[in-house]
Amino acid sequence: MASPADKVRVKTMMPPGHVRAPAYLRGKIGVIERPLGEFGNPELLAYGHTDGPKKPLYRVRFTMAEIWGDAAETPTDTIDAEIYGHWLEPAP
Amino acid sequence: MPHDHHDHDHFHHDGMSPSGHPYRADNDEPLSYWQCMEIAVRELLIEKGHVTPAEIAAQIEAMDARSPANGAAVVARAWTDPAFKARLLADASAASAEMGFDIGGLRLIAVENTGDVHNVIVCTLCSCYPRNLLGLPPDWYKTRAYRARTVKEPRKVLAEFGLELPETTQVRVHDSTADMRYIVLPARPAGTEGMDETALAALVTRDSMIGTGLPKTP
Amino acid sequence: MSEKFPFDGRRWHDMGGQDAGPVTPAEHDFALWEKRVDALQVLMSTKGHFTVDGLRRALEDMGEDAYEKYSYYERWIAAVNQNLIEAGLYTLEELGEKMDEARTRGETYGEAARG
């Protein structure tokens, strides 16, 4: 389980199908804003599998600079998104 | 742009409904394929005992009863009661339920606007919205333009709503990607000292709770 | 998606950060048939016949063309129906016959729905 302020990177994988990790955040590094607890896995629920293991969910905060680089409107503005634990890896 | 509904002319206010929106061409229009499917699905579910007409009517009534006024009451309470505000920021679902609102399984997070921070809510992947508190989302919330651009150029999007933010204000965008829904707790406007909760609630607009607007000033 | 770039796995509904035009602050009051679609979605998912993710999956799989062509609740009834068919609550034959029968009741939604 990740803890508040931990640095995490959203995995870059691009499997087909129903996932809730937005493409614009994949590969981007953010900071855990808060853990939210465990929730059903949308990647199973979407296909009718309601008995699968739950997944931890986190609110992760990213800076506009991290996401959009030089194209950021205001680099210090932020985006918070909810990302399931299996989409996150520790970041240096 | 997607046809998230048929043409309306926003410069004509004659013939608008009491909510200020166009009346919907509804029961008198030629039956569409999709309307026909709705009739068939609903009747099959009723015939097979999966749902009753009373359950459908009650669900429509419950959804109709949810409106931005519910959120406005929550905001006004937070503006006048510091202990309630602390509870709202800690657990917005519990705080809303405490005020008697039927929010079902809504898991709500309140994000607070201050002098330095402005929050705005979007759902880039679909149309997630705190519907069990505020009612159904406005059409623009579900458009490609709002979903695509709010995470990249929020200040330009807000400017299109007439909200120009200074560079000294930090913008925090919240993308509702999973199980939480968000409501903005706007900052209490200046000049409202001494106003009671009811009067304050009347200043709280729907857009100020999405973050695309500010509360009205007295 | 431009044909100049190979497909990278990003799907059409995953819109964050894409270019798009100005936001037009359109809204409308919902029609009865739209409220019924919304109610059926809530009731049937609450009863456990499908999940919200199942609804989203069907909407996503309908493709971008459907998003551009059809209204929100038109897409929703299609997705609700897709999930109910998958759940086995009724068959396509039953649906087809019921739609044909409803169509014979009149020219308008009000007549076909009998209110």
CATH code assigned at A17: 2.30.30.50
Confirm or reject contact between C12 and chain B (CB < 8 A): no
Q: What does the block give as tokens for A35?
A: 């853990």
Q: Which domain holds residue C38?
A: 32-113
Every domain range in chain B assigned CATH 3.90.330.10: 67-210
In a domain, A50, yes or no: yes
Contact A87, A10 (CB under 8 A): yes
Of C46, C90, C76, whose CA–CA distance to B59 is shortest?
C46
Q: Which domain holds residue A42?
A: 7-21+30-90
User: Nearest chain A Cα to B107, which residue?
Assistant: A36
Q: Do C36 and B31 touch (CB under 8 A)?
A: no
E-state strands within chain A: 7-10, 29-39, 55-63, 78-84, 88-90
B36 is catalytic: no
In a domain, A75, yes or no: yes
Supply the CATH number for residue C89's domain: 1.10.472.20
Residues C5-58: tens digit of each pLDDT: 678 899 999 999 999 999 998 888 899 999 999 999 999 999 999 999 999 999
CA–CA dist C106, A66 (Å, integer): 58
Q: Looking at this predicted complex, what is its ipTM?
A: 0.97
User: Nearest chain C Cα to B125, which residue?
Assistant: C14
Q: Do A67 and C50 touch (CB under 8 A)?
A: no
The pLDDT, as a whole number, for residue B5 is 42
SS3 B19: coil
Q: Which fold has domain B67-210?
A: Nitrile Hydratase; Chain A (3.90.330)
The pLDDT, as a whole number, for residue B19 is 61
Q: What angle do CA B149, A63, A28 make, to 5 degrees?
A: 90
Q: Is the pLDDT of residue B26 over 80?
A: no
What is the H or E stretch that residue B133 is in? helix B131-134
